[in-house]
Every structure is written in C-alpha cells, then in structure tokens.
Structure 1
Amino acid sequence: MHILISVNILMEKNMRDIKNKFKRYLRNMAIDKTPKLYPALKNTKEGNLYGYIDETGKMIIEPKFTTAYDFNNWGFAVIEENNKWGLINTKGEYKIMPIYDYISDFIEKTASFNKGEIMGAIDEKGDIITKRNYNFVGNFNEGRAVVGLPTKNGDSKYGYIDADGNERVKIELILANDFNEGVAIVKFNEDEYSLIDKEGNIINNYKYSFVSQYGDGLMVFQNKEGLYGFIDKDGNEVIKPIYKTANGFVDGLAVVSEEGEFNGPFGAINKQGKYVYKPIFSDIRQLGEERVALGMGIGKDENIKRNIYAIGDTKGNKLTDFLYLDVGNYKDGLAYASDEENTFFINSLGEKDIRLPIVSGSGQLIIKDNLIYADIDYSPYYLDKNKKIIYKPNDLIELDKQYSVLKFKYKPNINYLIYVPVIKGVKNKEVQNNINKKLKEMSLFIPINDEKQTKELIINKDDVLNYDYFGDFSIKYFNKDLLVLNLTGYYYLLGAAHGMPILKTPSINLITGEFYNLSDLFIPSIYWVSDINKIIKEMIDEDKKYEYVFKDTFKTVRFDQGFYIDKENLYIYFPPYEIGPYSAGFITFKIPFSKIDNIINKKGSFYKSFN
C-alpha cells in the first residue's frame, strides 16, 4: 500500500515536471509571425500619447497610450492608458484590460504587476504565473525572482519563485538580492549575510557590516571601520579593506576610491588588488564587453565636476582621447556616445562608426531590428540604417481649426533644454505676441543661487553648468477661448540627493490674452479663500489619500496659488515639501465646481472663457 502511494506521488510529480517543462518550452518559442511594431510618440491636445508604427514609419495602432513598451515574442506589449496598465496584441486589442496600477516591462519572458497592495507576475502570453498574492515581486534574473509577504509587525519577509511561479526558496529572508552566477546574497537575520544557491541552500555565512552581490568570483564587504575590500565565496579576504567606496567586479575590474568623495578620485583594480587604472579619474563607468569609460572633470567647480570621457579596455589601455560627454553600454561591439553637438555610435576601439546615423542633439541610440531608435533631447524617433528618418513626432499640436501650439526647442547648452509653447492662430497678433512672450518667461528657469542669472538668463554653449535642467509642456485643458497649459521642469544640482520638479499651469484667454489668477474664478465681493481652505482641510482630515500630508502644515491657499481647471473641477496643488514629503510629488486637491457653485463668478471673464 505504501509503495503504491509512493509510486502515485512520484508519477504525479513527474507529470507536473513534464507540464512545467512544456510550458517553458512554449514560452521560449518565438511564434509571432506578424510584422514588427514599435512604440511611437505623437504630441496631441490630449497629451503626449504613444501608438505603434511598422518598419516603414506607418502608424498601425493609433496613439492613445501614455506609456507603451516593445512587443514581446508572443506579440503582446505592455501599455498604460488613463493611469492603468494592461496588455495589447499587434492589432491594438486588449489581451489584459488596463486594470492594473502597474505592469513592468518583460524581463526573462516575465513581467511583474501590482494592483492595490497586491503584486504578482505574468508570462509573455499575459497569463498569471504566481500561485498567490505577494506584497513584492521583483524582476526575474537567472530564472528566479524575489517575492515578499508582509509580517505581523509590519515588515516583510522574502523568498524566491521560479519561472513557473513555484516558491523555490522559502519566504523567511529579511533581505534578498537578485541571483548572479547561480548564487545570491541574502540575510536570514540581522547578524550576518549568507550566500545561497537557487534552492536556498546556504553556501557560506559572512559576519560583516555589508556584503554586496556576488559577481565575477568576488564580493565587496565592509568592515567595522567602514572600509571596503573583497572576499571570495569561502570568506577569504582576497583584497584588504582600504577603500572608502568600491563597486563589484565586472570583466575582471572593480572601480574603487581611497578618498570617497563625489568625484573620487577613482581608479580600477584587478583581482589581485593592483591598479589597472590609477586613481586619478573623476568617474569610471564599466560599459561591458571589456570596455570602460574614463572620466576627467571639466569646469571650475572644484567639488562637483562634470566629466568628459575616454574609452579604455579592461587591460589598462586608453583607446581614445577624452572626447565624449556621455557614453552608453556596449552591445555587440557598439555603444552610443555624445559630444557637444551630436549623438552617434562608437565601435570597440572607441571610434565613431560613420556607417551608422549621426544625429544632432544628445541622448541615446538603440538598434531595434532594422531600425535605430533615437531618444534625442527627450524626443524619441526612428531612423533606418541608411540614416533616413522614418518617423518623428510632430512639433505642431492642433487644438482646433483655428488654434495650435508649436513646440519650440530652446537649447543654449547641452545641459539646459526647454520646449517652449508658442501659440498660433490668435487673430490679434499683438495679443498673440504678448502671450508667447510671457509663456517664454514662465518656461525659462533661472537658478536662484546663480549670481550671473539674477535678472536674465545668460547661458553660453561652452558654459559648464553645475546643474541640469529640462523643461517641457503639455495641454492640460482646452475649451472655447481657454487654454490651460502644463509647464513642467526638472532641476538637478550636481551632487544633490535628487532633483526638484517644477510645475506651472497658466490659464490663458486666447481672445484677450489674459493670464488668470485663482481669484478671477470667484465673485469679487466674497472671501472665497475661507471656503476653499475649509474644503481642503476636510479632505486632509477625512480622505486617507492625504494621510501623508504633514500635520498642521496646510494653513491657507494663497492668491498666487498653483491651480488648474477642467470643465467640471478646480484643482489646487502644492509643490514637494510644502505640505508633504518629496515622494508625494505635487499634492493635488480636486474640488468639483458643484461644491463651490455659490462662490463662482459666472459673469466673470474667466468662467465665461470656457462656458
């Protein structure tokens, strides 16, 4: 009897294994016979939307998605529409309706998703592979993905699943890294790090303050004094801890610094701890395929420098002079690079490959099948390998038969780029000129700590700025005579923990040229501020969506308060840190007009401009 039960159990297990192997076989098959399609941007009055083009540049799936990823081998692509994520086929039909809060791009033929507090994973056909709900699902790497479940005390414990969704490493870890070279660094407890195999078997334990992911045969460790060195699987200190910063080994090299400042100096060592590149560089990037980018600082700021890069190999040979302001990773012997004027491909010797397109502007180039994807100056487009542009997004956004908005690129410097809205179609040209003059002034960004820029923006092509700035715009709302724009910007001061987003939302009467203030929406004789304050305070107190608002920080709306409107609602917003944390972004309160109908000035110019 016991033998029969054991045989049945074994047969069931074998059948499950066969089914799982067959599923993996099917997932690995590239069965999509349809033409290749590629995500392509179109600027519209509804926003910046993506559709899909074919290899000739013809739009096959009309633009309606705010995010669109490449199609996978089964002919499905992840998209975002109306702040929800789903999956479409090459006909634009939904395989998964956009019901998820997020779906990642496919990595190792799987993608993670989240819906509310639930996370899971799907395969390339859109089928859910996870067997239960998690509160965390990472990307797959070497056939394993980190998954997490909440604990009673509010923390999480982690384990690993395989490509079929089976839990292969028990969910009991307090820290879990991706697998690399068949092993992963984890923590079962606070006292030590452990190295495990793909079944969760412990290979070794390490009692250090920090141990990095395993790679290229070694791991970075940190001692009690805060210095970094390198150990092998057995825990032997192969390279003594003398560095203040250290990255893991790639292609036999590790980037280290004995000083630990933002700009180094950095060097690169081999596995014997000897410098292959002396510590004289302000940056070293490991590019893959046995290539590195060696950065030297430029500019007058002694503490924080920009870099210009030379290409070197992993044997210590500098292959080029310092020519490039940006360099991408190598793939199949090519990498993209940028100088002050152009972006192009370089070969394994670091030389410009003139057979492939050289495009004006800065950004990245990626070879996709027979096309080249150019994400240049934050404007993505496509070329063929004969250097011909086959698709480029429109610069003119039509609002109706009369009005349109032109995207004018203002780029005085490689690190300063703004797309300025230019209104067209206003009958009174003086009004139109005044509108555009003010929009340009609102779009430009002047750092408050730059003495040279106190009154006007003066940026020269050769200036080495200690910050990056990118500004853009979109159409927030248009109806009748009213145009509401979304002027966005991102300011990053070199060396800062993060940049600062900037938002301005001018409401413009296209007939009169008026730029409305919030007060223009309300009856002049009524103190509308107290009514709006009361509504916002109630929302903060009663709506869980606003539980992250700092206690007692909201006092009152200002007369120059940031706001915008649509047909039925007023939106009041506050920038990061004003009433909430940076991570909350622009905290926005949506107030229906029906709720403030008694204080709206319906005879006023503002209200009548869109009604």
Structure 2
Amino acid sequence: MKKGMVFLLVMALLLLNPAAYSAKMLGPGDFYDTGGHWAEAEIRTACTNGLMQGVGVNEYGQQIFAPDSQVTRAQLGMWLAKSFALDYGQIRFIKAPSPDSYFWDVDNDAWYANSAMLCAINGIFPAGQELHPEEYVTRIEVARCIVRAFTAKNINVPMIMLMPAFTDMEGLPHEDVNAIVFVNNTGIMTGNGEVFRPGEYITRGELARIANRSYELFKMNPPGVKKMEPALQIGAEEIKTSDEYLEVSVEIPVISGMKNTAAQQKINEHFKQVVQEQREELLAMAVENKQSAEEMDYPFHQYQLYARTGPYFENGKILSFYVDYYNYSGGAHGMTDRRTYNYDVVSGQALSLKDVFISGYDYKSRIDTAISAEISQNPDDFFAGEFGFKGIDLDHKYYLQNDALVLCFNQYEIAPYAAGIQEFRIPLQDFSKGLNPNLKLIN
C-alpha cells in the first residue's frame, strides 16, 4: 500500500513539473523540440562537440534548440568562431581590440560580440560597418563565410574540382561562385537537384549538419598556419593636450626589437616628425582663423588632431600596419588620412607594393580586376566615370593582415566622404605564384 502511495505521489509531482522529468531524460545535445526531427542526430552531434547550443527554455523550463528557426548573423559568427578556433593569427594590437571598433551596432557586452570581432579580424565578416546581428543569413552568405574561414586558417582541402551545374548560379559574383564550388565539392553544403538556392535563409537544423561536415574536414586537414613569437613589438607614446586653439590626442608608434637599431631609430623619429609637423601646421591655421573669427564676429571651433595605430602584422620577415591621422580645421567635418607602413624586419628598409611580389609579376592587373569586381557589386557606393576607380598605382598603399593583402583608398579618392575609407581585401593565395618567397607570406 505504501509503495503504491509513493508511486502515485511521484507521478503527481512529475505531472505538475514536466520539466524535471525531461531534464533527467535529456542528455547532452538533446532538446525537447528535436525528438523526431530530421536533424535530430546532427543537432546532437553538433552540440556534443561544442559547435552549437540551444536557444533557451520554453514556458515549462525545458531546453529547446529551435531547429526550424532561421539563423541570425550573430549565431553564424558564434559557430564560425568555435568551429574554426578563430584567433588573432599573426596580427598584434597595441591595445586590446574591442568589438565596437569593428561594428557600429555591436555592444561590447553582447553575447556574440567577441565572436563577431574575431570573424572581422580574420576577414570573414566585413568590418567598419554595421553587423546587423539579428538579420537572417542566406545560404550563399554561409557558403562564403565558410570559404573565408578555411582560408583564414590556411587549411587546404584536397578535392576534385568540378563545376556544379546549378541553374541559379548565373550572375553571382566570382567569390560566390567559388564558394558554391567549394562547399558542394567538399560535401559541406549541397543543392536540391539543379538549384543551390543561394538567396534562401538557412535554418538552425541545416546549420547543425553544415557544422558537423565542416568540423570533420577541419579535423582531417589541420590548419597550416603556425603561430610565431613576434620578433618586433610596437608600443605607443601617447600625447594629449588641449588649449583654446587645438586639441591633440595622438598615439605615436614606437617600434622595438629591430636588429638594425639605427634604422629603427630613424623610423621612430619619422613617426614623431609626422605628428609634430601636423601639429605645427594646424596650430598656425587655428591661431589665424581664431583671430579672423574675432575680427569678423563668426564662431571659431577648436581644431583637432588625432592619431591611432591599427593592428600590426609581423611574421619574422615583414612588419605591416597603418596609422590613421584625423585633422579637423573647421567646416562640416574633419578628414582621416590612412597611411600604411611596411618594413623589412631585418634591415628596416621600407617595402613598397612591388616588393611583395617577384620581379616581372603583373600584380597590378590582378589587383585591378579584383577591386573592379568588388565595386561592381555595389556600384552606387562609389564614384563613376573620371572620378571613379581607374586602377591602382604601382606603389599603391597597402598593409597585410594574416592571409590577405589590403589595398586602401582615403575619403573622396574613389567614393563619397560618407562611405569612409575604402579597403579591398584580397587573399594572398590568389597571388601564390607571384609572391616574394623571401617574405614567407604563405606556407
């Protein structure tokens, strides 16, 4: 009798609190809403391997995965960062980077912030704009990001190169076509019959399957990038002053560790001189303008000089980085001048764009083609005709970031002021046969 009463009491408690029962029955990777779903096994595997996780609990406190919900860009970033073990690579920072310096609409404390930042540092998400973290992502965006992630980790996947016969690839940019070829030939993503469905949103169940297939390839083909201890360091000398004429807030780069100490001293003196010259020029203009403002009774606005050093790349052979100099001298807005610096680590010699390549290699044509193709995807963002992009100079400014060559254009060079500084990131692998072997830019 007593045993019967205990049984009834336990059953009553379970009926009143079904979450307790489900919590005991569900193991790692199991969720209340995935039982019987076509992706149940894929979801269990992805979660067990730490590639994905649930989205919370339902009204009964039961863990749910939401397998048919569409994937947001924030969720995509989390998966990419985990699956590909994203880090800084060979990039170093004078100050620890923050997510809001890469995306205008990302709070540094957001659950996805660091993952999104790592995706930007590795060239998977475009930086310097809005992330739109809650926006749903399409199949082609996922495919594109997967290829960029494999490239960032320098993972070479052996496969038979076959062009899939999808009827909905026509008109896609070159990068997107290559992305479809890669994910289809590796089996990471496939189409439905004759279509790939590039513009369709992807579900969390589908992403679980993609995550598992990517993870298997990642394990079978380990990254080729080996971290190296930096031979050089860049610090910063900070100067902050303010008076009625001019506000100054600058970080002057200070290089240390270069074997050629004379060259190192000369380089460091150059950075100091640049700031000093700009400071003197702005101050003289400000004094003159303030005097005129008082005489003619119009408002004077304090001038400004800011300087910030970006992340730097160093692989034991080349040191590469940029410095942004911002000047405000009245008017509607100031101007930012991005200057790039590239040095031979041993000799301290400045390296121009042509020095990145072997003699006789036609790097200009390849770069011009890549930039023109990217501009064609968003032509309204750029100037056209005689004011538009006409090709780079042979010594165009550039810097390196891990696996990529980055070409820079300042405000008004090829696009309106509001578009900001324009950068075009080209994988170094695209120049593999033409790169200077002494710089050891790719393995």
Q: In which range does the TM-score fall when normalised by the shorter chain?
A: 0.3 to 0.5
TM-score (norm 1): 0.33
- Structure with higher helix content: 2
TM-score (norm 2): 0.44
Give 1 or 2 for the bigger CA radius of gyration. Answer: 1
